[in-house]
């Protein structure tokens, strides 16, 4: 298999700090002001060489129809992203001084902790790109310092500084997930991803890493993962990561959660092959797995007081003489069988094995699966909103609110009982690709493997990839979901 000169993963992200105003001749000054105080929206240069960013007010986005609660997307993430992108262009004209430049951002006195967290996310993520080349990389903003309101000496300075630190951590998780999703698939085999996962968390105290190979999967009966990987010369893997606070002498104060992320390193559709148009974007079909890894790394580094298990089933879905076929019957981990209808609906087969294994071995309070799973979710909610399938409406709304606070939009979706029969098969226990609403029946299919454990399924087929730049998002893999998982499980 040919290789490519890909960047080292994880790539370095912009260093974002907060505190009192700094003094230096190498500082680029930026002041964020309200739209009322700015002569125009966006970033403009002043006569003294400093910059002003006019922050426009955004309309609230309704999240919970049952309680009429709304959330303001305050524009601070977009501000941070636009600042570093625009200033990248400026410092590229001074390559010798690029490493010395410090961007210092002043904010209004009434800026809240939520505002500063959003700003730090944008500053960290905004200019982060994944480029495969032997050419020298263009200079970019490397260091940003946020001047806290009250010159960093107010009674709330510590709280505000923590908000910036949290935002930078959330942004770094998104960057890691993006790097993994955007790596080219001639390099990104299941084995390669497994090595990256081990490297990402191996030095964190309290984390246990297991990489399960194809022989182990065969011995234990992971028929879904093996079926998807049968057509490829590069065998599947199961990444199993466990963070346990008891391993570092702390107590578990919250219930165990298992995270399962789809890890299809390239998806041709298999025998049910996809059209050639846009197939290149299928290198990002493991965004769910990348987001799980990034979230797990952050949560373990934060030493959250709960056991967290990350399971990432990895396979490459290729057409060949050995590929699985429509009409096959697959036996999953735990014994349930599924009738294969469409080999391009492979993601749920991976999730089924991993969900069943996680529920049986780790006995969690909840299993959360996340995947670029169905075109139906993308059609229903578009390219910027993820679908939440939860045991009840309240859980879905709670997750949606958590995600909204870190710039990821979600919408709770229904799981009506009258579609349960659609998931049944006449020739096996389950029908892999049932008739009816595709996103709903896919979530129901995966739920059958949870062994009665509470299950939340996140379908990110729309927001997991981007076609253009907007807010802090860049084209291709977005890393969507990592920030929500961190925000949700760290509380």
Please list the active-site residues. Answer: 274, 348
* Rounded alpha-carbon distances, angstroms, from residue 246 to 200, 205, 232, 288, 295: 21, 11, 40, 27, 20
- Measured CA to CA, the distance from residue 225 to residue 222 in angstroms comes to 6
Q: Which helix (H) or strand (E) holds 386?
A: strand 385-389
Q: From residue 160, how far is each of 76, 118, 147, 152 by CA, in Å?
A: 14, 12, 10, 9
**Both structure tokens of 30:** 């930026």
Spatial CA neighbour of 183 closest among 386, 443, 9: 9
The alpha-helical segments, DSSP class H, found in 332-412 are: 347-362, 375-381, 393-405
Nearest-angstrom CA–CA distance, 49 and 393: 52
**Paired tokens of 68:** 């009429």
Q: How far apart are CA 378 and CA 62, in angstroms?
A: 19
Question: Beta-carbon neighbour count of residue 394 at 10 Å?
Answer: 13
Classify 357 as helix, strand or coil: helix
Spatial distance between the Cα atoms of 309 and 7, rounded to a whole number of angstroms = 28
Assigned token pair, 257: 């959660």
Q: Is it true that the peptide bond before 32 is cis, omega within 30 degrees of 0?
A: no
Is residue 400 within 8 Å of residue 64, measured between CB atoms? Answer: yes
Output 194-200 pairs: Cβ under 8 A, ≥24 positions apart.
Answer: 194/237, 194/239, 194/314, 196/9, 196/293, 197/239, 197/241, 197/293, 197/312, 200/10, 200/176, 200/293, 200/297
**In sequence order, which residues have a C-beta less than 8 Å from that of residue 489 and are 6 or more positions away?**
257, 295, 299, 304, 306, 308
Q: Residue 101: which of 76, 127, 67, 121 has the closest Cα? A: 127
Q: Are 35 and 56 in contact (CB under 8 A)?
A: yes
CA separation for the pair 65, 403 (Å, rounded): 17
């Amino acid at each position: 298999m040919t290789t490519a000169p890909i960047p080292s993963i994880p790539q370095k992200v912009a260093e974002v700090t907060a505190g009192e105003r700094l003094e230096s001749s190498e500082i680029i000054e930026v002041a964020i002001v309200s739209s009322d105080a700015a002569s125009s929206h966006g970033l403009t240069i002043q006569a003294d060489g400093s910059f002003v960013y006019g922050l426009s007010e955004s309309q609230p986005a309704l999240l919970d129809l049952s309680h009429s609660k709304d959330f303001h997307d305050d524009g601070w993430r977009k501000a941070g992203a636009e600042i570093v992108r625009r200033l990248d262009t400026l410092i590229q004209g001074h390559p010798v001084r690029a490493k010395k430049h410090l961007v210092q951002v002043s904010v209004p006195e009434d800026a809240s902790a939520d505002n500063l967290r959003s700003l730090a996310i944008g500053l960290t993520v905004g200019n982060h790109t994944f480029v495969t080349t032997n050419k020298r990389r263009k200079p970019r903003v490397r260091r940003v310092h946020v001047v806290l309101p009250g010159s960093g000496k107010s009674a709330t300075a510590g709280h505000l500084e923590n908000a910036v630190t949290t935002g930078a951590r959330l942004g770094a998780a998104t960057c890691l997930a993006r790097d993994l999703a955007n790596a080219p698939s001639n390099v990104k085999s299941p084995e390669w991803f497994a090595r990256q996962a081990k490297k990402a968390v191996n030095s964190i105290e309290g984390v246990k890493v297991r990489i399960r190979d194809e022989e182990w999967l065969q011995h234990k009966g992971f028929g879904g993962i093996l079926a998807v990987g049968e057509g490829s010369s590069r065998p599947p893997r199961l990444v199993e990561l466990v963070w346990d606070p008891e391993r570092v002498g702390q107590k578990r104060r919250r219930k165990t959660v298992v995270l399962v992320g789809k890890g299809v390193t390239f998806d041709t559709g298999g025998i049910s092959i996809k059209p050639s148009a846009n197939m290149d974007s299928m290198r990002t079909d493991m965004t769910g797995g990348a987001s799980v890894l990034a979230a797990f790394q952050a949560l373990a580094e934060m030493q959250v007081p709960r056991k967290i298990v990350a399971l990432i089933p990895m396979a490459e879905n290729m057409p060949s003489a050995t590929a699985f076929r429509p009409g096959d019957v697959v036996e999953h981990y735990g014994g349930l069988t599924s009738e294969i209808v469409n080999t391009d609906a492979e993601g749920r087969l991976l999730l089924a094995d991993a969900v069943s294994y996680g529920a049986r071995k780790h006995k969690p309070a909840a299993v959360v699966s996340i995947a670029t799973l169905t075109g139906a979710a993308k059609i229903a909610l578009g390219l910027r909103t993820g679908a939440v399938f939860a045991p009840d409406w309240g859980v879905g709304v709670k997750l949606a609110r958590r995600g909204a606070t870190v710039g990821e939009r979600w919408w709770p979706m229904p799981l009506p009982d009258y579609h349960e029969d659609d998931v049944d098969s006449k020739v096996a226990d389950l029908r892999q690709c049932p008739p009816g609403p595709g996103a709903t029946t896919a979530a129901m299919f995966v739920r059958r493997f949870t062994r009665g454990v509470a299950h939340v399924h996140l379908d990110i087929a729309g927001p997991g990839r981007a076609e253009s730049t907007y807010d802090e998002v860049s084209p291709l893999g977005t890393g969507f979901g990592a920030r929500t998982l961190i925000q949700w499980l760290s509380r």
